[in-house]
Structure 1
Amino acid sequence: MTGDTPQRKVRVRRTLILSAFGIALVLLMWQGARLAREQALTELHHVAGNALQLSRANLVGYLTRHDYLPHLLATRESVRRFLSQREDERDPRALNQLLDRSRAYADVSDIYLLDHDGTTIAASNWQRTDSFMGQNYAFRGYYRQAINGRSGRFHALGTQSGARGYYFSAPVRASGHTSDMPPDGVMVVKVGLEEIEREWQSLDATLLVADINGIIFMSSDPALRLTALQPLSESARKGLLSTRRYTDEPLPESGLEVIETLPGGARHVRLGDQDYLNLSQPLARFNWSLNILQPMTPIARAQWLGALGAGGSWMLIALGSAIGWQRHRLRRERERFAERERNTLAHARDELERHVAARTRELVDSNHHLSQEIEERKRAEESLRQTRDELVQAARLAVLGQLAASINHELNQPLGAIRAYADNARTLLARHRIEDADTNLAQISELVERMAAISAQLRQFSRKGSETLTDVSAQACFDYALRLFRARLEESSITVVSHMDESTCWVRADPVRLEQVLVNLIGNAQQAMNDSVERQLILVVEKHAERVILSVADSGPGLSEEALEHLFEPFYTTRPAGSGLGLGLSISQRIISDLGGHLEARNRPEGGALFVIQLPAAHPSSLPSENPADA
């Protein structure tokens, strides 16, 4: 019994030491986790607050930048004059187009005009199936505010489109009515909310806007939109139904649960199985509140790190004590450890040298393969350039084929005339009328020169262009292209309208390639006007700073949305099958790009297509009298 007492004391002492160590470890880890949570909460509150403040400024700026628009449109004389007309005299087409252009320019969802009874009499979406035309919106708050002479603001779900929007409205008074008279109508601008919500989705937090009734109207999380933060009272529900602000169906609850209230006005909330830090800021101008839900995952991670840091520190202290207690044992092991370390380092150094040598060989081989690939790429690029040049030349020859009928007509006329003059000259010579015969021979000479000029034009157009850029007269290039198309334009009864100034329309370009582009554009314009009553080809050259603008416009039907989107893609064409490969505009755009310019297409407001070429301006020291295309 007495022999076991020292051993029992050692076990008891060891148990007490381990127990004290464990209790101290638990207390330190708890304290470390608590301090880490408080610090992480402060940092997260700061991050969420900054994001909320920035999002609030962006939202207010996004909405209020359109506040001016209904007032501006309400003062337009065309709008006031339209509103002053009797209902049976109104033709809303021109006003519909004005509202549609204003909508596109201001980048808003819809613009529409209500009469005194709240019925839509003009709308930017008149051509859509869900048009507002004829719909009555007298129940909307923005109508009641504006018809009483005030600026209106309202947010709601669209009854026709089903899309959420924010509405701005302004009173409109008919022509002749002064500002102290009651309004005769209401101008309404609807702003879509999807753009600002898409910007919110780039944040690592959830943003939501709730109205005065606690209904989430906007959110970066689609699942939270049109849900209620808390159950609605009966009076609030009836008020929403009277204005038809949302759907007629009961709105579901968001499921947002408040766990605790934190310092600084923050709240700890839970949505599903995720905890969030919730901050809120009022938007008094809109009767909204902007909320941010910042995930609290970093707080839990900080708690674990704090607990582990405190526990690790305590373990390090305990370990230091243990190390101090065992220093005398480590002293004996030091030499053997140093020897093992030297051996390990030597082995590691040898392994490193072997790895470096192997990696160097791999890099040399990789560099060799890379050099081969670069050479192959250069050869491929040279082959591609040659192919592209051949394709441009093929397109030029294809245009010559399309002009064959016109050229044949141009040559047949002087040939017939030559034959007639020759027969007359022979008859005159037989009658000894030498002077008259000489006159006929002079006419034959002029006709031959004309045929030679036509042949020279064809030879000029078919030759390949040069990579060297020179000072070129844009007017001369247009004149050359028009000479090629003269017969076809006259046959199609197309009037050419030209606005050019020879002194300011010089560009840096290759004349052959520029002429090919102009021939392609003029040919397209001529074909586009085949079914048009008014056939007019407008050619304009004007200078802006260091750029010269060349425009080719027609009075044809214009370009469809699909054509504008795919117009410059290879093999895209709007012509019937067999009438073209769809390469002309693609090649033309590449030619203009190679010349340092830009080619674009759009529709003219008055109808027809417009092609615009921008090229660097040239400043020749003297203006040559001859046509550069004939040089």
Structure 2
Amino acid sequence: MRTRRVRRALNLLLLVAACTLAAWLGYRAAWEWQLARLHDAGRQRLVLFARSLESVLDKYEHLPFMIGLHKDAIRLLRDKDPALVPAVNELLKQAQAGTEVTQFYLLDTAGTAVASSQQRLIGNNYEYRPYFRQAMAGGAGLFYSVGTTTLVPGCFRSRPVRDGDRIIGVAAITFSLNGVERGWAESGERVALVDENGVVVLSTTESWKYRALKPLSEEVRKRVVAARQYPEVQIRPLAAEALDVLPEGVVVDGAKFPEGRGKWLAQSYLIGGPGWGLMLFSDLREVRETAVLGGVGAGFAAAFLASLFVYGRLRKKSRRDRREAAEALKRVSEDLERRIEERTAQLSNANQQLHEKVNDLEKTEAILRKTTDDAVQAGKLAVLGQLAAGVSHELNQPLSALQMLAGNGVTLLEMGETDEVRGNLQAIGELVGRLGHIVGPLKSFARKSPLELVPVRLGAAIDNALMLLSAVTARTPVKIEVSIEPPDLHVLADSVRLEQVLVNLIRNGVQAMMEEGGGGDLRIEITATSDAGIVRLVIRDYGPGFSADTLAHLFEPFYTTKPTGEGLGLGLTISRAIIERLGGTLRAENAEPGARFEILLKDATP
């Protein structure tokens, strides 16, 4: 068994290795193929961009030469006659009209502008500019820089102005390459133009401008500063790693460039005349995605071929297994029939025993229910016993009054005072009603009745409980405050049992506060609110509260903190049992100061 498992594991590893190798080979093949295609397409776009730039540079190459041939320009530079300046200025303005050249100007041999299509340039000295020095050396000048007067970047072209074989000045023009740069941006490509110093002067990515392929040497830095070629900013490297030469067909990490990410294919094209370089960076995301698809496809193809081989093996094995399984199934079926018969007999016996246990459980539940009802009734009678003294005191006063009024009535009747007899009889009727008002709640409270869940007005239940406790509370300074919101709040309960719980809780609160000597805030708050179909009834006293040990055992049967003979410890146990049978909950906690009982019942407000 172990040998078979090892063999299966090795076969699985070989299969995974073969699929992985196929996926890697497919990925590399697709990568190389797509990279070659991207390189060819990028080379074509790069040549096209270079040709458009070269055409713009060539377009303005001969304009300075033509200005240098004009006789007025030659006379102005040769004779230095100020009277010729307006005519030459007008000549330069006419030459500028209809072209994209931003300015024409003539420089004398000292580099000072003596005439210009823009008046503000006259008098400025440009001797430090390389294009002036190139022209004074007899060649054609080409230079890209930021204008010292306009502060606008542009391209400068210049030619020497000759009087015979002698160079008497320089004719120069300035034109913008913004149109070229805008065309690159509209193509959606990432393009950059690097000048002869290795500094990016044009780019579709703004943050690349005036960054160098590598740190400038001290010699180049001095030359750049002297020529005032770039804005007064620090020339920082373009990438995190220096590029010694223009990259050609290499993959670079875009994250090392400003505003870059991913991988790029870097290509370059050298513009021979000025020694500039044009760079194109193509995103490799599509190449990578295609390579991944190729690798996944190769992996799946290898997995498919392997699955065909495995399928053939498994099919042959499955036919053999089916024959063996059919024979085994027959044996198992025969054994199963035998076991079913045995199990059926066992289940029949177990079912009979279960019925007997259910019957016993129902009998036990009936006994428990009766015991609970008896305990509830006993609790009510115990409360009535404790309230008897107070109730007898309440009854003595109206009974004495009845006796006195009856005796007076006989005397008055003999005296013929019928009006006074009538008044005595009315008073006797009122006292009888008062006796009924006192005895009625006691009679209803003492009645033993089956549990009946009906809508009970909470205010009426609280009033009845307070009536039952009136003989107790009348002898104490305890104030009872009741707040029910809304006033017509109803709960689903049994009115007698609910009143029994309220009597227990209110009486306990009164006793707890009076046991402390009757000082402090002698008040019981009864509040009721409704939320989401649940009524929250809270009874809070301002007594000493519960100790931690008392709170832990509060609802246990026969647990009491009262002296021996004053309680059995069943009041709260019975109260919780009653509330749970009503479908609610009863819990207690300390309220700092005092104790707090909370009853939750279903809202039955119509």
Larger radius of gyration: 2
Normalising by structure 2, we get a TM-score of 0.48
Normalising by structure 1, we get a TM-score of 0.46
